[in-house]
């Protein structure tokens, strides 16, 4: 199988370049990650992240034939040759397919991604009705792989100011949580032309999400709550 892979080692290379590979696959190689691991046996200088190899950890997010996705759950049957692999767009490259996610996680942390509840903790747990729990479906499943935020032009232009689809989905996950008591503070935090309203609803995020979540829905809900609060 033929590959074109983005290579860049800042210690050795002046600038990034694309390297061609031809990899002989084994019968057991079914996912794109299998092929990249096979390729690393050929050329161990290639750097990439991977961990769980089953679409749960989000480590092996990369740009596959121009589209962000997880290598481990991308079937080799579904990719066109030559497979062009690049690092996630818009983030600084550390080496080859590895990007610096600092900016992404800074935005994630800025929305306080944890339950805020000032009531004394009950003996066992804070309970929710099945209906309240259902509100979190489609939100809690996010694995923070950054496929969505790095496919969003608004995040490319303003990664320091725009929270991005992943961060906003997480923000709504806590706004929607019946156990959370900081809805107003969370909405205040996002009432900003950059932090929330850089989203122009182009839905690249929904298009690429490997978990099939909809940050656009979450962003719409946040705006809806802001309107209800303000009008």
Partner 1 sequence: MSKNRIVVGAHYGLRDWIMQRVTALVMLAYTVALVVILLAIPHDHEGWRHLFANHAVKVFTLVTFIALLLHAWVGVRDLWMDYIKPVGLRLTLHVLTIIWLVAAFIYAVNIIWSV
- Among 4, 19, 65, 158, the residue binding partner 1 under the rule CB under 8 A is 158
- Among 16, 76, 82, 191, the residue binding partner 1 under the rule CB under 8 A is 191
How far out from the chain centre does Cα 141 lie?
11
Quote the Cα angle for 28-30-31, to 5°. 135
User: In this structure, what token pair is assigned to residue 45?
Assistant: 């200088």
The Cα-based distances of 44 to 47, 83, 96 in angstroms read 8, 19, 12
- Among 59, 68, 151, 154, the residue binding partner 1 under the rule CB under 8 A is 154
**CB within 8 A of 76, min separation 6: which ones?**
1, 25, 29, 30, 31, 32, 34, 35
Q: Which helix (H) or strand (E) holds 37?
A: helix 32-42
Among residues 94, 192, 188, 208, the alpha carbon closest in space to that of 142 is found at 208
Minimum distance, C-beta of residue 87 to partner 1, in the bound complex (Å): 23
Binding flag, residue 147, partner 1 (CB under 8 A): no
Binding flag, residue 56, partner 1 (CB under 8 A): no
The separation between the first and the last C-alpha atoms of the chain, rounded to the nearest angstrom, is 58
Binding flag, residue 17, partner 1 (CB under 8 A): no
Binding flag, residue 13, partner 1 (CB under 8 A): no
Binding flag, residue 114, partner 1 (CB under 8 A): no
**Region of 113-121, 128-136, 141-149, 191-199 interacting with partner 1 (CB under 8 A):** 191-199
- Among 91, 196, 208, 218, the residue binding partner 1 under the rule CB under 8 A is 196
**CB within 8 A of 183, min separation 6: which ones?**
175, 225
Binding flag, residue 195, partner 1 (CB under 8 A): yes
Q: Based on CB atoms, which residue is closest to partner 1, 50 or 221?
A: 221
Q: Based on CB atoms, which residue is closest to partner 1, 27 or 227?
A: 227
| Residues 183, 175 contacting (CB under 8 angstroms) | yes
Quote the Cα angle for 197-203-206, to 5°. 120
Minimum distance, C-beta of residue 187 to partner 1, in the bound complex (Å): 8
Ranges within 169-188 binding partner 1 (CB under 8 A): 188
Contact residues: partner 1, CB under 8 A: 110, 154, 157-158, 188-198, 200, 223, 226-227, 230
């Amino acid at each position: 199988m033929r590959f074109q892979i983005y290579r860049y080692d800042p210690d050795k290379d002046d600038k990034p370049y694309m390297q061609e590979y031809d990899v002989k696959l084994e019968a057991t190689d079914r996912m794109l990650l299998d092929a990249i691991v096979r390729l690393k046996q050929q050329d161990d200088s290639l750097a990439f992240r991977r961990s769980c190899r089953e679409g749960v950890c989000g480590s092996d997010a990369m740009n596959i034939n121009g589209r962000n996705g997880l290598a481990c759950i991308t079937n080799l049957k579904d990719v066109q040759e030559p497979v062009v692999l690049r690092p996630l767009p818009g983030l600084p490259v550390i080496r080859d397919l590895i990007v610096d996610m600092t900016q992404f996680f800074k935005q994630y942390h800025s929305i306080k991604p944890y339950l805020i509840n000032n009531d004394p903790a009950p003996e066992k747990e804070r309970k929710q009705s099945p209906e309240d729990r259902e509100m979190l479906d489609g939100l809690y499943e996010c694995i923070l792989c950054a496929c969505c935020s790095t496919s969003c032009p608004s995040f490319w232009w303003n990664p320091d100011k725009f929270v991005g689809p992943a961060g906003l989905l997480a923000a709504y996950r806590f706004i929607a949580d019946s156990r959370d008591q900081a809805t107003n503070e969370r909405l205040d935090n996002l009432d900003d032309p950059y932090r929330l309203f850089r989203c122009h609803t182009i839905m690249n995020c929904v298009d690429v999400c490997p978990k099939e979540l909809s940050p656009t829905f979450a962003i719409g809900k946040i705006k809806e709550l802001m309107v209800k609060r303000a009008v």
